[in-house]
A and B are shown apart, each in its own frame.
Chain A
Amino acid sequence: MDDATREYLRERFGDYYRQSTVALPPAANEREWGHIPWTPGTGTTMVRHQSQLDLGDVDDFLARESPRHVYFSAARYTDPSASTMSQKGWRGADLVFDLDADHLPSVDPSEATYAEMLAACKDALHRLLAFVEADFGFDDVSVVFSGGRGYHVHVRDPEIQDLDSDARREIVDYVLAENLDTDGLIRTVSAGGTTRRVLRTEGGWGRRVHAALVAFVDDLDGLDESAALERLTAIDGIGEGRAETILGAVSANREAIAAGNMEAGGPGIRLLADSLAQRVADAESAPIDEPVTTDTHRLIRLPKSLHGGSGLVVTPIDREALDAFDPLVDAVPEPFRGGSVEIDIDEPRRVELDGDITKLEPGTHTVAEHVGVFLMARGEAEKV
């Protein structure tokens, strides 16, 4: 990025901040603040360990300094500006989840368009929210488009504030279905001198796997015998004999399977559950970035600030409006709409933003300002 481009972006970011109000987190004065200024070179130096007292009014600070990136800590501290973590006096931290297109197994960043990445990320976000809301039952959840390649979820439920890193890792493992194994989902019940194995069906991954098992069995029921056998023997470890035992149980002992009984259907039923567990884990887990959640001192992007790598707004999203939210339209900064800017590019570019697709060949172009800002912030164009 050359000096003229950097200076232009710095000025326009400042204009944005003069016309906007950022979304301060609760207890903003107990949090650590950090920002990255527009400095030359590729290196980024974060200015951190600042308190709100150091910044003064945050909106004034942003209008004045016009930083490239702005962050605040998930944690609250007694002395947020102390330079070491031990001196800060940790008082608790929001639970933060970060979904980034870089971590999605279904997305190849070298192939997918920005729009495709964001769409895949939103699917993952819905899966994450299913855990956050239905399983964990957390209150005070806010969803934020990161301005880059994904979404952040901030949980401020008082219940989680004091959880340490290990406890947060348990939550991460749950969301990732990390080391989920069917043995762990099966418990042994002793009754009348005998023991039997049953799936843990009253919640969590056990319930998910059980639902998949019941659906699978329903499917089998609709098939003729040879098709059903074929479906079963396609699973590793299930040969004809085991498949027949399972089918026998499906017709004779359906209620036991519906109740999570892992004896009806012989050893094959547990192999079937194993295989389904893997499928369910792949399909329903959400690939969050682990360190963001387990690091209780993490800095997170400030909602309503600008992302210096895209020029898009870090956008808080109403839960009800999530389905309709389109980051490529709704995160375009209002002050950058309507104007135009002249830029120079080296490679062909295709930009999908604010409902339009702009295709550019190498050379000099006058483009809508939000398109120009987007390309310049990404380092794909220079100001003319």
Chain B
Amino acid sequence: MSARLYARYPFLEAARQAVGELGVDIETLIAEGAPAVDRGRKRVERALMAGRVDAEDPDEWRDEDELLSYPIARILVSLLDSGAAIDKYAAAEAKTAVERLQEDFAAGDDGLRSTTTARLDRETILDELGLSGTIRPAADHASREPAWFRVELGAYLRLAGDGDRWRLVDREVADGEVRIEREELFSLLGTAIRRRIADGLPFEGLTEGEGIVEPLESDLGELRRLLSERTAVGRIDFVNRALFPPCIENLLQKAEDGIELEAFESFTLMAFLTGIGMEPDEIVDFCAESSLDPEGIRYQTEYLTDDRGTQYPPPSCETLSAYGICHNEDDHWKTASHPLAYYQSRLEDREEELVDWRADTNAE
């Protein structure tokens, strides 16, 4: 295995050992403000904002920084002291890992066999997750990734999702195993990886501002600011585009002009639409004539609302202004410092009868 491989899959046990073998200790990295610390913060930031952890600027980082950023990210997430943040971080690590696995399995399937040691094969990841005897190909094809797998019933029940497609009653169950398709394997692996990542988090015994984590103060401040932008806006469940704040309207128009939104922009837009009570399917319809693709919308909105009911609201006007998205139009900061609050106040100010966009479309 190679440094590149560990950089891509830093949660592997072998990667953990590789960190040890590098002979650097985390304390020193943190004290020196090494690049891995910077990358670690970005890792968490991206997890919370975009639901993934791959670097936006991969050429900036050495494999070693990538690898070392993982333990740093875990320390940062632990210090955030938020169960929801840990859940989202773990889901984001798993999402990126699964995308890499899909690439790697496909590369192993192109007939060239493994051309680089940076790729992870199916047996290795199954073994790593303690699933090697539990998930097996339904049939052996020497050179190709099989189309079907069989999963032991217990493991299937532990790893399957909640949706109807996973209901056991409709599944092919025989001799204690459940048949799944290749694509479904990735979903099960994603769950297993997410649990592996979340396991052991938060770290015990870390106190912000003390000991080895003292130098992380400013990184934490930035992450916490992202988190604290959950503002106390009352529950909104009304969609009327004419009253959207200007920043959101601008983002919508940009997307409708066919321009690809930056990650931060689409996060802001999706968080706003979710925050005003829209379901993923409704958002897909709402943004049908735009550069946003349905799959991306679904993915992003699913992680914005989690089943505990905590939501990630869009960033505040101040943060949006730093990104050049908010320009304090109509001096609205005086009355509302947040897009959701701004929208809510506009809804309340409006005197004539308003129509919810959803009622309008449903009636058609």
Count of residues in A whose CB is under 8 Å from the partner chain: 30
A134 partner residues in chain B, CB cutoff 8 A: 174-175
| B154: chain A residues within 8 A (beta carbon) | 157, 159-160, 163
Contact yes or no, A200 B175, CB < 8 A: no
Residues of A within 8 Å of B173, CB to CB, are 135-136, 174, 203-204
- Establish whether residues A171 and B168, one from each chain, have CB atoms under 8 Å apart when the complex forms: yes
Residues of B within 8 A of A181 (CB): 170
Q: Which residues in A have their C-beta under 8 angstroms from that of B46?
A: none
Interface size bracket, B side: 10 to 19
Bound complex: CA A157 to CA B253 (Å): 58
* B158-A135 in contact (CB<8A): no
A106 to B168 CA separation, bound complex (whole angstroms): 26
Binding site secondary structure of chain B: mixed
Closest beta carbon of chain A to B134's beta carbon, Å: 9
One digit per residue, 1 when the CB lies within 8 angstroms of any chain A CB and 0 when it does not, for chain B 162-178 equals 00100111111111111
Q: A47 at interface (Cβ–Cβ under 8 A)? A: no
Is A207 touching B170 in the complex (CB atoms < 8 A)? no
With contact pairs A174-B169, A184-B169, A204-B170 given, residues A167 and B158 touching in the complex (Cβ less than 8 Å) = yes
Of A159, A174, A204, which one neighbours B152 at CB under 8 angstroms? Answer: A159
Contacts of B178 in A (CB 8 A): 203
Q: In the complex, how many angstroms separate the beta carbon of A310 from the nearest chain B beta carbon?
A: 34
Which of A159, A170, A207 sits near B168, CB closer than 8 Å?
A170
- A136 and B170 alpha carbons, distance in the complex (Å): 14
Which residues in window 165-212 of A have CB below 8 A to B?
167, 170-171, 173-174, 177-181, 184-185, 200-207
Cα distance A179–B158 in the bound complex, in angstroms: 21
Min C-beta distance of B168 to chain A, whole Å: 4
Is the pair A170, B174 in contact by a Cβ cutoff of 8 Å?
Answer: no
Query: Separation in Å of the B111 CB from the closest CB of chain A?
Result: 20
State A184–B168 Cα separation when bound (angstroms). Answer: 10
Docked-complex contact A170 and B170, CB < 8 angstroms: no
A137 in the interface (beta carbon within 8 A): yes
Q: Which of B137-160 contact A (CB under 8 A)?
A: 152-154, 157-158
Given contacts A179-B169, A184-B164, contact A204 B174 (CB under 8 A): yes
Whether A137 lies near B176 (C-beta < 8 A) is yes
Is A136 in contact with B176, judged by CB distance below 8 angstroms? yes
User: When A and B form their complex, which 3 residue pairs have the shortest distance between CB atoms, in order from nearest?
Assistant: A137-B176, A203-B174, A184-B170
Point out residues on A near B: beta carbons under 8 Å: 134-138, 157, 159-160, 162-163, 167, 170-171, 173-174, 177-181, 184-185, 200-207
Given A159-B152, A174-B169, 18 further pairs, Cβ under 8 A: A138-B176, A159-B176, A160-B154, A163-B154, A171-B168, A173-B167, A173-B169, A174-B168, A181-B170, A184-B169, A200-B171, A202-B172, A203-B172, A203-B174, A203-B177, A204-B169, A204-B174, A205-B169
